[in-house]
Chain A
Amino acid sequence: MLPGFGYARPRNLREAVHLLSAPGARVQAGGTDLLGCLRDGVFGVDTVVSLSGVPDLRGIRRALDGGLVVGAMTTLSEVAAPTDVVKGYPTLAQGAAAAASPQLRNQGTIGGNICQRPRCWYFRGDFHCARKGGEKCFAAEGENQFHCIFGGDVCFIVHPSDTAPALVALEAVVRITGPNGSRSVPAEKFFILPETDYTRENVLTAGEIVTEIVLPPQPAGTRGTYRKVRARGSWDFALAGAAVVATITAGKVERARIVLSGVAPTPWRVPDAERAIVGRRLNKRTVRDAAAAALKGAQTMSGNAYKVELLRGTVEEALLALA
């Protein structure tokens, strides 16, 4: 049952920021994650501030530099639709298409997707866990088959987004507006690990809203893909995933970014794996090396050791898809 709350539908960004600066205010984009969290009592709320009345937050346009600007209120369906995103940024389009279910993609937004709260069943459930201000992470000694093998500390969530790894791989920039004006943060710096703050998943502070995502133009010969493995064919989060963007010239990888989903509290970039393919051809051997490099440093718990082997396969398949 949803708690009682006030509802505001501001007409411009300034008003939205103002309303969201109040304690207990929660931003609503598509609302697919927010309403679930409120219903489950994950956090409290005084006022839901809807962005649906704020103009210019929805839609995809061409940037002056040839890149794309994706409004934060653009739905996942629109991001995944066969348009400029698919042509220029298949990694992102595939990530959006792999998220949730058709109904949720029609309602959920790209901004909301990267800001959604973790799906950890302790965080969402009737457990006063560390991320909710409690004493401990229940996953550490509990049912942790869906939890992280990288970057865990105090809390062991995985980041739930399928579009976030693509954005990091594409070197996207997140534009934010808040009480102190606007700022731009590279997607790679947008997400934060539990060691920085285990109660938040990103750099947003009170009153700040993601307004746009800027995708830089990609060099000629750039290819991309997103491979996601899940326990169920739809409406399920990644057990492991790999977003890859690589520029391939004359058969050789010139530059590459490999970012993992489902294995860490943030989209998890694996520079060692990237180095393993740069300057080389994508073949079975290099791909195997890259996958092995991606696994370095994995720390497993009682129930998630399978993720190491799963990730190896996922990275291999993602890279081979680009070969």
Chain B
Amino acid sequence: MKTPKLYFVDGAVPESPAPTDTPAPWTETRVVGKSLPRVDAYDRLSGTAVYPSDVVLPDMLYAAVLRCPHANARVRKVDGSLVERMPGVRAVITGDSKAADLRWYYTRTVFTKLFDPTCRFEGEAVAAVAAETPQQAWDAVRAITVEYEVFPFVADERKALEPGAPAVHDGGNRVGEPEKYQRGDVVKGFAEADKVLEASYRTAAEFHTPMELHGCVARWDGKRLTLWDSTQGVYGVQQRVASLLEMPLANVRVIGSYMGGGFGSKLQADKYNLIAAVLAKLTARPVKLFLTREETFLCVGNRPPAGMRLKAGVKNDGTLTAFDLTVLGTGGAYPTGGTGLVDWLVRDLYTCPNVRTEATDVYINGGPSRPMRAPGHPQGAWALEQMMDALAEAIGMDPVQLRLKNVPTVSQANEGQPPYTTTGLRQCLTEGAKAFGWDAVRRRSKGDGPVKRGVGVAAGLWIAGDGGPPATVIVKLFPDGSANLNMGASDIGTGTKTVMAMVVAEELGVPLEQIQIENADTGTTEYATASGGSKTVPTEAPAVRSAALAVKRQLFELAAEELKVPANQLYIEGDAVVSTKDPKVTKKIAALQGLRRRGLLIGVGTRGPNIEGKVINPFVAQFCEVEVDTRTGEVEVLRFLSANDSGRVMNRLTYENQVIGGITMGIGLALTEQRVFDRQTGKVVNRNWHDYKIPTAMDVPADMTSLPIDVPDPEANTTGAKGLGEPVTIPTAAAVANAVYDAVGVRVTESPISPMRLIGLIAARGKRG
């Protein structure tokens, strides 16, 4: 089958102006690849950066949303009439309000009302209030009386298909027919195997819980709406809001130049955008609506739980013969992709002729899922990479060697089994193992006392990370040689702005501090798809390079006249244009008369199409060492090494930031994070940062090493870079699980590996020291 198109439109994307030529790959770079701090670090740290949640406008009101406290209920009656007269209250909207009679789309085709009487999960929006202060808004929300008819619920996907389970939707709890994939013949494959293993695995649901809360500020100027939104993609929000409010795109401006993290939960518009817009219109005042931390645990997405049963066959020489995977998952109360991509690694990561997968997605009365950092992949890796470890043990082979034996050169899961442009998996494994000291630590004693040491490895690839069109970028050169970079992409905390400015600096020689960056504003910046899918660098950087080159061409044309040297015999050195034939023939950019008279050069760049017939994927291998206290089940991660093939390293420092962040997040999946529903009410009991345990500095090792396999991929795009942000978290949890097994001989197949879970398993298997 064809790779699912993530984040992009199908079909060819016209480029205009037409690209004049494809630039040659960089050979040596002057700026790109350096370890440089962020161009906006000062603004972010000093507080001068204005995030959407910082926006305060004159006459601004504050909104709050009344949310259904039940897992499954119907609103019989909602009465906000008394509330309207409460102090400071300026507007109340409910399902009965004409102004709020709007549709909300949970998917492209599945919609409800904005305030729908049918509430299929705890946290569904029921009414909203705008008031002079946040306190007054919340007082009012609490005073709205709602009569609910409360129904039985199902909150556990494993029970959703049981006979008699409450139906989340008419027609039952199956989202659709199970998604099936097959190549080769698994029966034959298992027959050819020397060892066949089968096991069940499960990863718990996780929450994104980014630092900046979800929300926006809405302001109307006549018929024009401006939203300051904490989003990963301003254009996507603009399109959705304009479409739902039946407005021209030109009249909806979305600004999100700074935003405080999303991890996939801010790739789309949300009901709060509409609610804020409606309340702002009703009151003729700007309205700020940011959710509380607790609300964000209910209604702005999650990484779905994944139940996986994996059967695998291997020959004694390490040849994989068959994989058979069944997945059960849930995206919550709406069809948001509860099992999406969970099987992708089983299909594609290792050479295996016979593969069958089947994924069943069910409804539960839980908040709808949203993509979360490498959707499906860490879950799939949790099963596949633990299974690879078990297979290696079963045939007496080193787990790194077993993986090396099965490194693919073609993407088997894609139609026609096209080759990858580059496959760094082999180098990730070999160079990673060497840098980690794998062979030596594997042979070392686990320890005589109750505290055991172990090491683990796991690998992965990311289905996307290729990037692609559309993207349009404008670079302007001022007559003093300083520049402006204008792009629509959000910098979601990864350093996008810095990396893009480095591309401009690379081509035009402008120091970073002399590049002004405008980004993520549909009113003033160019088109970009949302920042997600680890595709921002491979999508935007080539467009930035193309725009910078367009400026450079014009600059050389101007300089050619003044220096009497052909334009194709010029290059930029520092702040000057220099002849390739005679370095003494040179002129400072600021001294070019043509540029001074012209006032400004503008270069437009677009992102060209990807190479035909090849697949562009980043690869990763991670190694870790843990200590397990067999008397308490405590796991301490001592060190981590991540070897990544993400093509060219654009900025060594932001690269390392991504690696450390990805490992940290993966340790959360491995050791601490899980959504907990109360079985009696279907309510989420751990909806805060204390009970939902993201890792702290004490839970991650100080010793985290980023080892880039820095091999530019010239076929990927004109910068040679592939995506990084997601691959870095794909194998992490599985690597921890494998290290725990190595330490104590207990295979923990269900996440998280908390002391609560591990101590019981250790005791039951007699592994107590």
A residues sitting closer than 8 Å to B (CB atoms) are 1-2, 4, 101, 119, 121-122, 125-127, 138, 141-143, 145, 229-236, 239-240, 305-306, 309-310, 312-314, 316-317
Contact = CB atoms under 8 A, between A and B. Distances in A.
Contacts of B685: 121-122, 125, 142-143
Interface string B118-160: 0000000000000000110010000000000000000000000
A307 to B, nearest CB: 8
Nearest to A141: B680
B679 A142 contact: yes
Nearest to A237: B690
B12 interface: no
Contacts of A143: 676-679, 685
A127 B70 CA distance: 11
A145 B760 CA distance: 13
Nearest to B689: A235
A309 B680 contact: no
B155 to A, nearest CB: 11
Residue picked from B632, B681, B683, B699, most chain A C-beta under 10 Å: B632
A265 to B, nearest CB: 19
A7 to B, nearest CB: 15
B632 A235 contact: no
Given A142-B678, A316-B631, A309 B696 contact: no
Nearest to A305: B760
Please give me the 9 A-B residue pairs with the lowest Cβ-Cβ distance, nearest first. Answer: A233-B698, A313-B631, A1-B138, A234-B698, A121-B685, A234-B696, A233-B699, A232-B693, A313-B632
Contacts of B695: 232-233
Contacts of B687: 125
A66 to B, nearest CB: 36
A1 B134 contact: yes
A227 to B, nearest CB: 9
Residue picked from A122, A138, A309, most chain B C-beta under 10 Å: A309
Contacts of A306: 633, 755-757, 759-760
A121 B134 contact: no
Given A125-B687, A138-B681, A145-B756, 6 more contacts: A138-B678, A142-B679, A232-B693, A306-B757, A313-B768, A317-B629
Nearest to B690: A235
B663 to A, nearest CB: 15
Contacts of A2: 135
Nearest to B683: A126
B678 A310 contact: no
Contact of B754 (A119, A121, A231, A240): A231
A232 B689 CA distance: 12
Given A145-B756, A317-B631, A233 B690 contact: no
A310 B690 contact: no
B632 A229 contact: yes
A124 B629 CA distance: 31
Contacts of A4: 135
B69 interface: yes
Given A143-B685, A310-B755, A317 B632 contact: yes
B430 interface: no
Given A1-B134, A316-B631, A317-B631, A231 B680 contact: no
A233 B763 contact: no
Nearest to A126: B69
A127 B634 CA distance: 31
A291 to B, nearest CB: 9
Question: Which secondary structure characterizes the binding site on chain B?
Answer: loop
A232 B631 contact: no
Nearest to B756: A306
A239 B699 CA distance: 16
B697 interface: yes
17 contacts: A1-B135, A1-B292, A121-B686, A122-B678, A125-B685, A141-B679, A143-B677, A143-B685, A145-B756, A231-B756, A233-B697, A234-B696, A306-B755, A309-B759, A313-B629, A313-B632, A317-B631
Contacts of A142: 678-680, 685
A158 to B, nearest CB: 13
For chain B, the bracket of interface size reads 35 or more
B672 interface: yes
B513 interface: no
Contact of B760 (A121, A126, A309): A309
Interface of B: 64, 69, 134-135, 138, 292, 450, 629-634, 672, 676-681, 683, 685-687, 690-691, 693, 695-699, 754-757, 759-760, 762-763, 768
A313 B759 contact: yes
A312 B631 contact: yes
B584 to A, nearest CB: 61
A101 B689 CA distance: 13
Nearest to B754: A231
Contacts of B680: 138, 141-142
A231 B157 CA distance: 25
A119 B690 contact: yes
A61 to B, nearest CB: 32
Contact of B693 (A122, A126, A231): A231
Given A121-B691, A234-B697, A310 B135 contact: no
A231 B138 CA distance: 33
Nearest to A120: B685
A174 to B, nearest CB: 26
A229 B759 CA distance: 11
A83 to B, nearest CB: 24
B110 to A, nearest CB: 28
Contacts of B629: 313, 317
Contacts of B762: 309
A309 B765 CA distance: 13
B760 A232 contact: no
B291 to A, nearest CB: 12
Contacts of B686: 121
Contacts of B698: 232-234
A261 to B, nearest CB: 14
B99 to A, nearest CB: 25
B759 to A, nearest CB: 5
Nearest to A232: B693
A38 B763 CA distance: 41
A135 to B, nearest CB: 12
Contact of B672 (A127, A231, A314, A316): A231
Nearest to A119: B690
Contacts of A145: 756
A160 to B, nearest CB: 11
Contact of A233 (B681, B691, B696, B757): B696
Contacts of A138: 678, 680-681
Contact of B696 (A121, A125, A141, A232): A232
A236 to B, nearest CB: 7
Given A121-B691, A142-B679, A317-B631, A235 B696 contact: yes
Nearest to B757: A306
B445 to A, nearest CB: 20
Contacts of B699: 232-234
Contacts of A232: 672, 693, 695-696, 698-699
Contacts of A239: 755-756
Given A125-B683, A305-B760, A309-B760, A229 B69 contact: no
A310 B629 CA distance: 11
Nearest to B758: A306
A1 B683 CA distance: 20
Nearest to A41: B142
B162 to A, nearest CB: 19
Nearest to A316: B631
A229 B634 contact: yes
A233 B702 CA distance: 13
Given A143-B678, A236-B693, A310 B759 contact: yes
A127 B685 CA distance: 10
B80 to A, nearest CB: 18
Nearest to B698: A233
Contact of B633 (A126, A141, A310): A310
A312 B686 CA distance: 27
